[in-house]
Amino acid sequence: MASTSMSSVLFLLVATFAASASAATFTIKNNCSSTVWPAAIPVGGGTQLEPGQTWTVDVLAGTTGRFWGRTGCSFVGGSGHCNTGDCAGALNCTVSGQPPTTLAEFSIGGTEDFYDISVIDGYNLPMAFSCSTGAGLVCTSPTCPEAYRFPDDDSKTPGCSGNSNYQLTFCP
């Protein structure tokens, strides 16, 4: 009986370590001169960032999602409205934001990750998006050449080593 219990504990410890080792940390910074309310699905939800503030989000391997910045927001408690990127009036988003939204998209795979900037859903904020072991992407206009601009524009997804850290900056 003690052997089974010890094996179970050891398995849980190894599984916990493996899960935490296969993760990415995203640091989101507001470099804009006004407040930005970044949002993320399926992780993170959303928050308010004053100029110069940062928000850190840990993402487990096997997760595909997106970050975007919301502007012109007003919240009372957890509900309100944003002029751009609104997600059903919630501070903590569980659905994608309403266009126009400049998107930072990611797929955390464990051994290799992929990331990109997309303006397919419109453009509302300039952003820079980079991985600690990959290329830095910068998008400062609706026609930025480093971003996906239409649905079949599939040549702009850089790869990155797994377990990397990411930096997303609004108004780089």
Question: Tens digit of pLDDT for each residue in 77-125?
Answer: 889 999 999 999 999 999 999 999 999 999 998 788 999 999 998 999 9
**pLDDT over 70 (residue 21):** no
Answer for the pair 163, 22: CB distance below 8 angstroms, yes or no.
yes
Mean pLDDT score, 13-31: 66
Closest C-alpha among 166, 110, 101 to residue 137: 166
Answer for the pair 148, 156: CB distance below 8 angstroms, yes or no.
yes
Question: Tens digit of pLDDT for each residue in 35-78?
Answer: 999 999 998 789 999 999 999 999 999 999 999 999 999 999 88
Name the phi and psi angles at 21, rounded to 5.
-75, -25
C-alpha 35/C-alpha 95 separation (Å) is 21
**pLDDT over 90 (residue 149):** no
User: For the domain 23-170, what is the CATH code?
Assistant: 2.60.110.10
C-alpha 57/C-alpha 15 separation (Å) is 21
C-alpha 112/C-alpha 20 separation (Å) is 16
C-alpha 101/C-alpha 57 separation (Å) is 20
Residues with Cβ < 8 Å from 157, sequence gap 6 or more?
114, 115, 116
Burial of 45 by CB count in 10 Å (0-12 exposed, 13-18 middle, 19+ buried)? middle
User: Where is 17: in which H helix or E strand?
Assistant: helix 2-21
Q: What is the pLDDT of residue 16?
A: 38
Global model pTM greater than 0.95: no
Over the chain, what is the mean pLDDT? Answer: 85
User: Largest alpha-carbon pair distance within the chain?
Assistant: 65
